[in-house]
Amino acid sequence: MRFLKVCAVVVAVALIATTSVAIAGETLDAVKKRGYLIAGVNGGVFGFSMPDDKGVWTGLDVDTARAIATAVFGDASKIKYVPLTAVQRLPALQAKEIDVLCRNTTQTLTRETANGLNFAHVNYYDGQGFLVSRKLGVKSARELQGATICVLPGTTTELNVADFFRANDMRWRPVVIESTPELSKAFFAGRCDVLTSDLSQLAAHRATSPNPADYVLLPEIISKEPLAPVVRHGDDQWYDIVNWTVMALLQAEELGINSNNVDMMLKSQNPRVQRFLGVIPGMGKALGLDDNWAYNIVKQVGNYSQIYEANVGVNTSLGIPRGLNDQWYKGGLMFAAPFR
Amino acid sequence: MAQEVKDSPEITTSAKISFWYDPTKRAVIYQVVVLGIVGMVAYYLFSNTLANLERQNIATGFGFFTKEASFEIGESAIPYSAADTYGRALLVGVLNTIKVSFIGIILTVILGTFLGIARLSRNWLVAKLAGIYIEVMQDIPVLLQLVFWYAVFYDTFPSPRQALNPISGVFLCNRGMAFAVPEPHPVYGYMALALVIGCLAVWVLRRWAKKRQEKTGQIFPVVLISLAILLVLPLATWLLGGAPLKMNVPKLVGFNFEGGTTFSPEFAALLLGLVLYTAAFVAEIVRAGIQAISRGQVEAAMSMGLKPGQVLRLVILPQALRVIIPPLTSQMLNLTKNSTLAIAIGFPDFVSVANTTINQTGQAIEGVGMIMVVYLFFSLSTSGFMNWYNKRVALVER
């Protein structure tokens, strides 16, 4: 009898092992069941994602994540932020620890293929630059022969700067520290001659440094950095939701809808506005969401222009003009696909 | 008793006992079953992982080893540039980890032994100071200590242009300590050879002196003569080779010092933090080892007319080592494993390089597997060596 029992256990284990190869759970269902969205963010870039002195998360990436939570739940507060370092971020997403990564992450071919990820519409167009102390008297990145450079590991930045110095046949020495605040501290304490990162992040570091006026950005911009929210391969519906949430922020700006006038806009006779806000139903359904998803996003989070100006725009301490991040009809690159 | 044992084979071979109720066979079956279950769980995890990776289209395998790494590494024991492969980058990481662990273990053992003995000192002040050091260092998390030392290095030292120059050829700044090293010259190779020959000579001398002492009771001043041999042989080689004196002195060029050799603040902070922390534990182990020896042993040795130095060397230490070695081994392993905290202060150890590799290639499972294998290898070889040594010093019962 005992032997039979043992046999039964072995067979059971064999059955479990051979048949239960994991099947993709729909991310949307998992998020809804959990009751809140888990978003991976950067913990220390002012203007993009950083908790303020009251512990409230603010920033452009944070607002993008809030917009996604609003699209799913109709409530921007149903969200949990997981601060991740550059090295942790992609494995965390692959391992399903987070639902979406809104952490100034550059879209690249390798990440979309070998890393098994998909990038949604870009929420910030950036480029890589160099921040140096004014005291060094350096005017151009080509004068940086032999410099010590602070750089975050596991980033495209790390690769671009190596490429730049190789292309110009110059020597340099990296100091790579995984934590963004620690890296910035080391730079401002003088451990490195140069801090390199995306321009927006350099502006953020400079704005939060003890003496912002002592540091200058060099004129060279050595890369293109389209920063976008990221999801895993294998769940197209979830990708659509994240992608079209970013587009909704842009589309709202294009249609002139913001958080103040969105209720008035519900009465608009413009069919594009009606379709967007769900007055003419169908768009939300197609995504597997409520038809008033876009209305909720604009009402609770705002449109892209509002988010931009509140977090990084010219009236903030970062003071970054819209530039590439302006709408297509104003000479920028922001171009939402049609909502129909 | 013997009679019964002799009888038992007859019972088991009798037809009454069925196959399933034979304890020996059953034990074998159980073991096979357990092994089977373990194997199946492993297979399940493996295949499930592969299936999941495939579903997400994540690349697998170790093909990335031969691809171009295209990231730079701050310090390296071998020539490395961004144009080299991931394999070489990882090797640079392994060598950096070995460098900091090896130097760290040696310094830790020296400092720990010193502190352990100091804590037992009859001098009140020395004993208390050692005690305070041990208590404080043991109780502060090592990560905090690393960050603290790192901040000390980059915050207190001046920039390269105002570097401190305490003695000629040595420069201290927030880029590290740059110091002069001799220009390469063939004589140095011969000097190393002379040192090896010196070591061999010392070994032969010690054996001879021991034999002579056992035969005649005469004591030969081995230590002094050995030191003389080790010093004189390389020195004589240097003089014969024309006494080259040219030094490669670091010079400030542009942003930084060029030439000579540099200890980076990252390396220094990591080494200092690990050594100061682990030495506190080693000190307690050494103290425990010495206190484990009964007072009678010391008294007996002294009554035989041994000098205090001889008591320590011939009676206390050989016995204390038996108690010290096993926990000391585990502290050595701790130091090696704690060196992975290097990532917090930017020293490019193996984990740091492997993490970057994981991130740039996206192959987390291979990367993490590799990290585990490498540290397992470090740990097993350290403890293998220490077990061998432990066997040598263990009490031989007669």
What is the per-residue pLDDT for A6? 43
Q: Give which of A172, A183, A190 is closest to A136, Cα–Cα.
A: A190
Residue indicated by tokens 């072995």: A10
Q: Report the relative pairing of strands A100-101 and A37-41 from DSSP bridges.
A: parallel
Last residue in a domain, options A195, A223, A251: A223
**Rounded distance between C-alpha atoms, residue B104 and residue B331, angstroms:** 11
- Better-scored residue on pLDDT, A148 or A7: A148
B74 vs A contacts (CB less than 8 Å): 173-176
Using alpha carbons, list the distances in angstroms from residue A146 to A130, B85, B262.
15, 23, 14
Residues A211 and A66 in one domain: no
Rounded average pLDDT over A25-32: 86
Q: Which residues of B fall within a CB distance of 8 Å from A158? A: 71-72, 356
- Tell me: do A249 and A306 sit in the same domain: yes
What's chain A look like in SS3?
Answer: CHHHHHHHHHHHHHHHHHHCCCCCCCHHHHHHHHCCEEEEECCCECCCEEECCCCCEECHHHHHHHHHHHHHHCCCCCEEEEECCHHHHHHHHHCCCCCEECCCCECCHHHHCCCCEEECCCCEEECEEEEEEHHHCCCCHHHCCCEEEEECCCCHHHHHHHHHHHHCCCCEEEEECCCHHHHHHHHHCCCCCEEEEEHHHHHHHHHCCCCHHHEEECCCCCCCEEECCEEECCCHHHHHHHHHHHHHHHHHHHCCCCCCCHHHHCCCCCHHHHHHHCCCCCHHHHHCCCCCHHHHHHHHCCCHHHHHHHHCCCCCCCCCCCHHHCEHHHCCCECCCCCC
User: What pLDDT digit, counting tens, does each position of A44-85 carry?
Assistant: 889 999 998 899 999 999 999 999 999 999 999 999 999 998
A12 within a domain of the structure (yes/no): no
> What domain range includes position A192?
128-223
A237/A313 same-domain check: yes
**What per-residue confidence (pLDDT) applies to A24?**
42
The answer on A97 and A238 residing in a single domain is: yes
Euclidean distance between CA atoms B225 and B271, whole angstroms: 34
The reply to whether A118 falls in a domain is yes
Measure in Å the smallest separation between the Cα of B370 and chain A Cα atoms: 16
Considering A181, A202, A223, which residue would you say is the last residue of a domain?
A223
Across the A:B interface, residue pairs with CB atoms under 8 Å apart total 161
- B119: helix, coil or strand? helix
> Domain segments of chain B: what residues?
86-157+265-393
Q: What is the pLDDT of residue B15?
A: 61
CA B230 to chain centre: 25
* Position A238 pLDDT exceeds 80: yes
CA angle in degrees (0–180, nearest 5) for B62-B337-A42: 70
Contact call for residues B295 and B209 (beta carbons, < 8 A)? no
Distance from chain centroid for Cα B131: 25
Residue B14 is predicted with a pLDDT of 53
Phi, psi of A226 (to 5 degrees): -75, 110
Q: Is the pLDDT of residue A21 over 60?
A: no
Q: How far apart, in whole angstroms, are the C-alpha atoms of residue B293 and residue B274?
A: 29
Query: CA geometry: angle at B99 spanning B95 and B105, to 5°?
Result: 140
| In the predicted structure, residue A4 carries a pLDDT above the cut 60 | no
Residue A245 predicted with pLDDT over 90: yes
Is the same domain home to A175 and A215? yes
Long-range contacts of B390-398 (CB under 8 A, 24+ apart): B390/B322, B390/B325, B390/B326, B390/B329, B393/B318, B393/B321, B393/B322, B393/B325, B394/B322, B395/B319, B395/B322
pLDDT digits (tens, 9 = 90+) for A154-186: 888 999 999 999 999 999 999 998 888 889 999
Choose, out of A101, A115, A150, A166, the residue to mutate when testing the contact with B (most B CBs < 10 Å): A115
A184 and A64 housed in the same domain:
no
Shared domain for A112 and A161, answered yes or no, is: no
Burial (CB < 10 A; 0-12, 13-18, 19+), residue A211, is exposed
A95 inside domain: yes
Is A194 in the same domain as A251? no
- The CB-side HSE value for B256 (13 A sphere, CA atoms) comes to 26
Is residue A113 domain-shared with residue A140, that is, in the same domain? no
For position A43, what pLDDT does the model report?
A: 84
CA distance A65 to A226: 17
- Tokens coding A14: 């064999």
* CATH number of the domain that residue A238 is part of: 3.40.190.10
> Residue for token digits 């980076």?
B264
| Domain identity same for A231 and A258 | yes
Please give the backbone phi and psi of residue B248, each rounded to the nearest 5 degrees, phi first. Answer: -95, 95
Asked if A225 and A128 touch (Cβ cutoff 8 Å), the reply is yes
Distance CA(B262)–CA(A70), nearest Å, equals 54
**Which chain B residue has the Cα nearest residue A111?**
B362
Among residues B141, B145, B233, which one has the least CA distance to residue B191? B233
Q: How far is CA B319 from CA B196, B286, B295, B379, in A?
A: 30, 12, 12, 26
Residue A7 lies in a domain: no
CB of B52 within 8 Å of a chain A CB? The answer is yes
- Cα A222 from chain centroid? 20
pLDDT tens string, chain B, 398 residues long: the values are 445 555 555 555 556 777 778 888 888 999 999 999 999 999 998 888 888 777 777 778 888 899 999 899 988 989 999 999 999 999 999 999 999 999 999 999 999 999 998 998 889 999 999 999 999 999 999 999 999 999 998 888 888 888 888 888 888 888 888 888 888 888 888 899 999 999 999 999 999 998 998 888 888 888 888 999 999 988 998 888 888 888 888 888 888 888 888 889 999 999 999 999 999 999 999 999 999 998 899 899 999 999 888 888 888 888 898 889 999 999 999 999 999 999 889 899 999 999 889 888 878 888 889 999 999 999 999 999 999 998 888 776 65
CA-nearest of B268, B281, B286, B267 to B335 is: B281
Would you call B74 and A136 a contact, using CB atoms and an 8 Å cutoff? Answer: no
- Give residue A122's pLDDT: 97
Q: What is the pLDDT of residue B60?
A: 81
- Complete DSSP assignment for B156-201: HSPPGGG-B-SSTTEEEETTEEEE-EEPP-HHHHHHHHHHHHHHHH
List, in order, residues 6 or more apart from B43 with CB less than 8 Å away: A17
CATH superfamily, with its number, for domain B86-157+265-393: MetI-like (1.10.3720.10)
- Which residues in chain A have their CB less than 8 angstroms from residue B346's CB? 175-177, 183, 186
Q: Cβ distance A151 to A175 under 8 Å?
A: yes
* A236 and A93 housed in the same domain: yes
Of A223, A243, A266, the one marking the end of a domain is: A223
Residue A102 lies in a domain: yes
- What's the gap in Å between the CA of B376 and the closest CA on chain A? 23
In this structure, are A99 and A236 located in the same domain? Answer: yes
β-sheet with A79-83: strand ranges across:
A79-83, A37-41, A100-101, A230-232, A117-119
Is A264 part of any domain? yes
Question: How many structural domains are present in chain A?
Answer: 2
Task: Considering only the beta carbons, identify the residue of B33, B174, B266 that sits closest to A190.
Answer: B174
Find the CB nearest B154 among A3, A24, A190. Answer: A190
Q: Do A113 and B57 touch (CB under 8 A)?
A: yes
* Residue A336 located in a structural domain: no
- DSSP helix/strand/coil, B248: strand
Task: Give the span between the Cα atoms of A75 and A193, in whole angstroms.
Answer: 45
Single out the residue of A203, A195, A199, A202 nearest to residue A316, CA to CA.
Answer: A203
